Amino acid sequence: MRAAVFGAAMLGTAMLSGCYTPLFPSNAPRTQFENHDRVRNRYVPLTEEDVFGAPQPALRARLSPR
């Protein structure tokens, strides 16, 4: 009986320890170049929405000359 309670407690602890804030948040700059562009107001987002509202890579905006 003690082993079952102890096992349930350990399982509950393991399940709750998986919920934490991410190490690198999504709004943090990914590289020093992205930080440089943000400071100079030349930042281009990584994704854009297509005509149906689904996210897709913003290749045309990111690869166009400035």
At residue 19, φ and ψ (nearest 5 deg) are: -95, 100
Number of neighbouring beta carbons within 10 Å of residue 58: 15
pLDDT digit string, tens, across residues 11-59 = 887 777 766 777 788 777 788 888 888 899 988 888 999 999 999 999 9
Q: What's the predicted TM-score (pTM) here?
A: 0.45
Buried/exposed 18-44: b ≥16 CB within 10 Å, e otherwise: eeeeeeeeeeeeeeeeeeeeeeeeeee
